[in-house]
Structure formats: structure tokens, C-alpha cells
Amino acid sequence: MILAALAILGGFALMIWSADRFIEGAAATAKHAGMPSLLIGMVIVGFGTSAPEMVVSAMAAIDGNPDLALGNALGSNIVNTGLILGITALVAPIAVHSKIVRKELPILLLIGLFAGALFWNGELSRLEAFILLAGFFGLIGWTIFAAIKGRGDALEVETEQELTAHPMPLGRAIMWLCIGLVLLIVSSRILVWGAVTIAQSLGVSDLIIGLTIVALGTSLPELAASVIAARKGEHDIAIGNVVGSNMFNLLAVVGIAGVIAPMPQLSPDVLTRDWPVMMAMTVGLFVMAYGFRGEGRLNRIEGVILLASYIAYNIWLLNSVMAG
């Protein structure tokens, strides 16, 4: 147990550091390749912030723990929306200037509903996982189109400021890209081993561990990125990171895990507890941030509501564990 706990803590620390290096290296490499700033912010950074979830869920599926992989994906979305945006809005209210981010909010809602429809029969087959991955590639295509058409968008301005504020030579960028990716895989392997070991020792399901400890750990890079962006006044980056990551989690993270290890019997709790909570938070975020009469805004009161929802959900999980 002690070794497993140390593995989780060490895995988290290494994951946060390596994910940051991976994102910085990937963004700088793309910039040197001449990729537009808006495309870097939407695709490269969006992919990078979801990289921990992707690698952890893939490792869990390879090890024969698909419930851990699914719990990580759904739990990360709940952490992103409730905890990360809740804290970020408390630090600095978020104004949504970007038209692209506003377009992504209803798309996220549709993706969540589509994922729930696939879960509804109580399983996730390899074919359904491939459908999710196809949706992911379709999302990437739409993202590229939106980035090309969205020149001058507020998100592009903020991303360009970030990229020019921290220039990096090409050689160093490629080095950090490679080192970050390798260490991300290593840290994910350590984290999954520690999480599964603790789950087995405590008699807690892999799903619960994925929804809580693993989801929180893999979402820490988004927490740091969003809070820092909000404090700098880069509001669209703060909320765009979360919305993009949530879409990637449902399509790519669940899809990759399902292709590696199909889930013939989903836990009933996924449909009666976890997916509904995730969708309720997503609907709440859409209503709060879309801005039906102009620019969207996430104020401190709404931040408190999101944070309280996250805390209430975790109390529900704790009660489920105690009752079980």
C-alpha cells in the first residue's frame, strides 16, 4: 500500500511535469513549422492537455482494466467542469469572447449525448469505440476548418501572445516534445499500477478509482493552465482548454480504450450516476457560458455552483463506497 501510494504521488508529479514539457515542445515545434497560432491553440494544445488521459486510459485498457479507463475519461470531464472551471472562475471571472469557443460548447453537449447513447445498452463494443474515434477525427477536421476561417478570433490573439512570450529554438522544442512524451508514458504506467494496487487492497472498484484519484491527477495540467490563463486575462484559453479537453476525452480517450479492450458489461453506475452528473455539469456550463444575449461569462457565483456540484458528486461517490 505504501509503495502504491508513493507510485501514485510520484506518477502524478512526473505526469504534470512531462505533460507541460510535451505541450510546450509540441506548440513550439508547430510554430516553427509555420502552423497558424489559432490552429496550435485548438489542436496541438488541446491534444496535449488530453494526452495524460489518453495515455493513462490506454495503459489501463492494455492491463485489462477498462473500467479504470472509462472512469478516468468521465471523471476527468467532471473534474474539468466542476473543479477546474469552478476554481478558475473564483480566481478571475471568465468572459467568453471567442466565437469558436461558443461554437464548441453545443458541440460538447452533442458529443456527451452521443457517448451516452452508445453506453445505453450497457456495453461499449470495439465497433462503437471505432465510431467514437471516427468522431474524434471528424472533430479534428472541423477544428482545422474553424481555425482557418476564424482568423482574428480572440482565442487566436491570446494564443499568439503565449507563443511569442516564450520562444523556443527548434532543437530544444523537439527535444522536450520527445522527452515529454516518453516520460508521460512512464508516469502513466507507474500511476496505473499504483491506482489498481490500491483499489484491489481497499476493495474499491477500478471505476471509482478512475473517477476520483486518477481523474484528478490527469486533469491537474488543465487546472494549472486555466488558472494561470485566467489570471493573465486570457479568458478564452482558460475555458477553451477545458471544453477542448472534454471533447477529446469522450471521443479519443474512451475510443482508444474501447478499441484496445472492449467493455462488454459497463457498471450500472455509469448510466445512473456518472454520465448523468457529467451531462448535468455540461448543460450547466453551456447555460452559464454560452451568452445567449451577447458574450458569455462565467462569474464567481457560477464558479461556486460548479465547485459545489463537484464536491457533492464526490460525497455521493464516498457514500457509495461506504455503502458497498
pLDDT tens digit at each of 324 positions of the chain: 789 889 888 988 888 888 888 878 888 888 888 877 777 777 777 777 788 888 889 988 998 888 999 999 999 999 999 999 999 999 888 888 888 888 899 999 999 999 999 999 999 999 999 999 999 999 999 988 887 787 777 777 777 777 777 778 889 889 988 998 888 888 888 888 888 888 888 888 889 988 988 888 888 777 877 887 888 888 888 888 889 889 999 999 999 999 999 999 999 999 999 999 999 999 999 999 887 776 778 899 999 999 999 999 999 998 988 876
| Coil/strand/helix, residue 161 | helix
Q: Which residues contact 208 (CB under 8 A, 6 or more apart)?
A: 71, 199, 317, 320, 321
CA distances from 156 to 39, 40, 144, 240 (A): 8, 9, 13, 11
Q: Which residues contact 90 (CB under 8 A, 6 or more apart)?
A: 300, 303, 304, 307
How far is the C-alpha of 181 from the C-alpha of 252, rounded, in Å? 17
Domains of the chain (ranges; CATH) run 2-323 (1.20.1420.30)
What are φ and ψ of residue 94, in 5° steps? -100, 120
Distance from the Cα of residue 73 to its chain's centroid: 7
